[in-house]
Chain A
Amino acid sequence: MAADASALPAPRHGWLRALPKPFVRSPLAIASCAVVAAWIAIALLAPVLVGSPLAQDIAGRLAPPSSAHWFGTDPLGRDILNRVVYGARISIPVGLAAVGLAVVLGTMIGSVAGATGRAVDETLMRLTDLMLAFPTVILAMIISAALGAGIRNAVIAIMVAWWPTYARFARGLVLSARDREYVEAARALGASPVRVFMRHILVNIISPIVILGTLDVGRAILTFASLSFLGLGPPPQIAEWGSMIAAGRDYLDQWWIATFPGLAILTLVVALNVVGDSLRDTLDPRLRGE
């Protein structure tokens, strides 16, 4: 959140060029990028890096960390390192998908509200207020409990709980873009309302929305892990960080069961949050300090 003068508003089309400056100055941001990149690489290369997350060694169950099992083994004798590595293959795509879907849905609803105005706007925004009255985890819990446990339903739950934030944000942006001269000009030239919206309004509001979304990927991964911890995620045999931590709850003395998946979540989410903050500071000073 270094509010230094170098982080001036980026030129509209050259925003990629503005990227390096504050990043280069902040070692923390660079380190965080490296951590995120490392996690993505780990997720992609999991089958090459480690053995099966399902292979059991019943004789060696609950073994503490050793040279054979760096992170120890779980109550079923499965290697925790393997499972932590494979867990990245679930958490990262889930975080991206949940936020992506919420951004798309929220932008659609918010844009419709902002572009049409009056009754439709009023109805949609009251609905948004209502949804925002529910704390995320409780809403997501109701939804994924109702739809049944599973990865897909957890993603749907997060999407349903989160779209209102983006809808509000998108509506505000549409309202401020609607009366700009270039939009007026497009209208005067006879462009259809749909074309005006798609070609002249949407392209100009999408980048702050995407940035806001990027900031939330870490939070989405945390929320998904919470749902999974509560038993509303994938079935237990699947290597997933939240459910691995839940399995460690009953084995307090075997600290390694819960500790390593927790550290995995922590490192990834901290890094994502730092990258998100730096991105925000660099690309869109309007969002700073929220």
Chain B
Amino acid sequence: MNLQGYIVRRVCMLPLMVVGITLLTFVLSHAVPADPVSANLGDQAAANPAVVAAFRHQWGLDRPLPEQYLIYVWNLVRGNMGISISTHQPVLIDLREHTPATIELALAAMFLSLIIGIPLGILAAVRRDTVMDQLGRGVSLIGVSIPVFWLGIVALFIFYARLGWAPSAGEISPRLPLPPFVTGFVVVDALLAGQRAVALDALAHLALPAIVLSSASIGVITRMMRGSMLDVLGEDYVRTARSKGLPARRVTLRHVARNALLPVITVIALSFGGLLSGAVVTETVFAWPGLGSYAFQSASSLDFPAIMGVGIVVAVVYVLMNLLSDVGYAAADPRVRMG
């Protein structure tokens, strides 16, 4: 199969996945015993049958489930994701406000995981069973075992409360104005607006949460890169390259690392999903105004439209990342396309 055909087929799967995702979020948030009426109306209002009936009617909660779903999907197709029961804003607007902050945080964490995890994995594999290897394995073990919310609190305590190196929680210092909304990434927006001081301040705020969030994915990527390097190091073509008398460094980087990166691409995409999960808890620790904080707030008040909106955005991002990684993998390794 050629690459275009592969991409077209994968992209065609996308709408099906999205329909499935909406169905799943809908079933999950409706086929449960919890009552959104009591969660969103005060006790007094919930005791008044007229108020309750009006509430149910307004949100379509008095119709059969399949009908509620169709109403939801029809609205979704027109870009209407409903109005958040708790913020009284259209969910689409809430998501537009909160999504960039999370993507910014996740991308920063992903960047850190790559520039630390890949070299560490390479070194650990090349210097197998040395101190470097132990360090790499130690980092990956701690990385996957540490509770990210605890690491966040400890980091805030050390670097903010004690040493004063890091700014307080939040996306930007309260005294500074937010730059005009262009991309939603505060650092980028500030640079676009030519506000260097604001950009630096935002970058300083981003550093600690990004480091904390990256802990798990650094572990996963280091471990995967090491394992993949070890597999490739045993290949015949590596021995051939060595016997040709190529310098060790060149063999490691050009022959081994490039091939070892292939399976790691998939893991990178998967750990992006993990980053989005980790972002939920990290954001609550660092008062980061992203999807995680929004999801948590809407989940605790049973805000169905908002929960479904977050679920859809996150799942779609995840599916897109998977698509990108599969296509990237197929583009980089012709053997996959043949299979």
Determine which residue in A1, A137, A262, A265 has the highest number of CB atoms from chain B within 10 A of its CB, and name it. A137
How close is B161's CB to chain A, nearest CB, in angstroms? 5
A126 touching B231, Cβ below 8 Å: no
Q: Note all chain B residues with C-beta closer than 8 A to A218.
A: 145
B157 within 8 A of A: yes
Q: Note all chain A residues with C-beta closer than 8 A to B154.
A: 258-259, 262
Taking beta carbons and an 8 Å cutoff, which residues of B are in contact with A?
17, 20-21, 24-25, 28-29, 32-34, 137, 141-142, 144-151, 153-154, 156-157, 160-161, 227, 230-231, 273-274, 276-278, 280-281, 284-285, 295-296, 299-300, 302, 307, 310-311, 314-315, 318-319, 322
Contact with B along A144-182 (1 / 0, CB 8 A): 011110000000000000000000000000000000000
B17 touching A133, Cβ below 8 Å: yes
Taking beta carbons and an 8 Å cutoff, which residues of A are in contact with B?
1, 3, 126, 129-131, 133-139, 141-143, 145-148, 218-219, 222, 225-226, 229-232, 242, 245-246, 248-249, 252-253, 255, 258-259, 261-262, 265-266, 269-270, 273-274, 289
Q: Note all chain B residues with C-beta closer than 8 A to A230.
A: 280-281, 284, 296
A248 to B242, CA, bound (A): 55
Given the known interface contacts A147-B33, A253-B161, A289-B231, the answer about A141 and B299 at a Cβ–Cβ threshold of 8 Å is yes
Q: Note all chain B residues with C-beta closer than 8 A to A253.
A: 161
A137 touching B227, Cβ below 8 Å: no
How close is B124's CB to chain A, nearest CB, in angstroms? 10
B299 touching A266, Cβ below 8 Å: no
Known: A137-B281, A229-B284. 16 other contacts (CB 8 A): A130-B20, A130-B24, A134-B21, A134-B318, A138-B311, A141-B280, A143-B32, A145-B300, A146-B302, A226-B148, A229-B281, A248-B153, A261-B150, A262-B147, A269-B147, A270-B145
A266 touching B302, Cβ below 8 Å: no
A246 to B318, CA, bound (A): 28
Given the known interface contacts A138-B314, A230-B296, A245-B150, the answer about A133 and B145 at a Cβ–Cβ threshold of 8 Å is no
A137 touching B278, Cβ below 8 Å: yes
A230 to B273, CA, bound (A): 19
How close is A103's CB to chain B, nearest CB, in angstroms? 20
Given the known interface contacts A253-B161, A270-B141, the answer about A131 and B274 at a Cβ–Cβ threshold of 8 Å is no
- List 13 A–B pairs whose Cβ atoms lie within 8 Å, in order of A's numbering: A130-B24, A135-B273, A137-B277, A138-B311, A142-B29, A142-B299, A145-B299, A147-B34, A249-B153, A252-B153, A262-B153, A269-B146, A270-B145
How close is B215's CB to chain A, nearest CB, in angstroms? 11
How close is B159's CB to chain A, nearest CB, in angstroms? 11
How close is B6's CB to chain A, nearest CB, in angstroms? 18
- Name B34's closest neighbour in chain A (CB-CB): A146
- Name B276's closest neighbour in chain A (CB-CB): A135
How close is A125's CB to chain B, nearest CB, in angstroms? 12
Q: Note all chain A residues with C-beta closer than 8 A to B302.
A: 145-146
B311 touching A274, Cβ below 8 Å: no
- Name A266's closest neighbour in chain B (CB-CB): B146
Q: Note all chain A residues with C-beta closer than 8 A to B145.
A: 218, 222, 266, 269-270, 273
B227 touching A142, Cβ below 8 Å: no
Q: Note all chain B residues with C-beta closer than 8 A to A246.
A: 149
Q: CB within 8 A of B277: which of A129, A136, A261, A289?
A: A136
How close is B143's CB to chain A, nearest CB, in angstroms? 10
Q: CB within 8 A of A133: which of B21, B142, B300?
A: B21
A258 touching B277, Cβ below 8 Å: no
Q: Note all chain A residues with C-beta closer than 8 A to B285.
A: 249
Q: Note all chain B residues with C-beta closer than 8 A to A269.
A: 145-147
